[in-house]
Amino acid sequence: MASITEAELTRAIERTLVVHGKMTADQAHPTARMVLGYFGAEGTVLDNKLSSEDRDRFYQLEEEGLLTSEEEDATVSRGKTWRIHYWLLKKTRIRDVGQGGDAPATDEAESVYRSIGESEWQRGAAPPKRN
């Protein structure tokens, strides 16, 4: 599969993290640039290469389904086992989100809150009468 472009990842970030209020719009492009800076032409990034701040961003992207993490065990000298954590771009998901319609889909909770009428939000109103 072809590499993800900065523009594709930026759009995907805008339509996930920005829409959900987890990141400001002006952080989307620098975040996309940072992520792709780690990946380069590779399909994976070792977790231990990330700074603490960048790792936090990777976790945010993972929550939105744009990245995923995996681990594997490797046996080293004297029979010790090391666990290796690494990150992968979810290219199909990034493209799907980035190429979606202009209006991002609302989540289920937002739909429920929007469906509640204004009068039902009033605390001072008398409770409804029961028969």
The Cβ-side half-sphere exposure at 19, using a 13 Å CA radius, reads: 18
The boundaries of the domain holding residue 79 are 6-103
111's torsion region: left (phi>0), alpha (psi -120 to 50) or beta?
A: alpha
Residue 37, SS3? Answer: helix
Classify residue 128: in a domain, yes or no. no
Is the pLDDT at 120 greater than 50? The verdict is yes
CATH code at 26?
1.10.10
Residues 6+ apart with CB under 8 A from 106: 114
Classify residue 122: in a domain, yes or no. no
pLDDT tens figures, 7-53: 999 999 999 999 999 999 999 999 999 999 999 878 899 999 999 99
Classify residue 52: in a domain, yes or no. yes
Classify residue 94: in a domain, yes or no. yes
pLDDT tens figures, 43-97: 899 999 999 999 999 999 999 999 999 999 999 888 899 999 999 999 999 999 9
> How is the beta sheet containing 81-89 ordered, strand by strand?
44-46, 81-89, 67-75
Classify residue 126: in a domain, yes or no. no
> How many domains does the structure of the chain reveal?
1
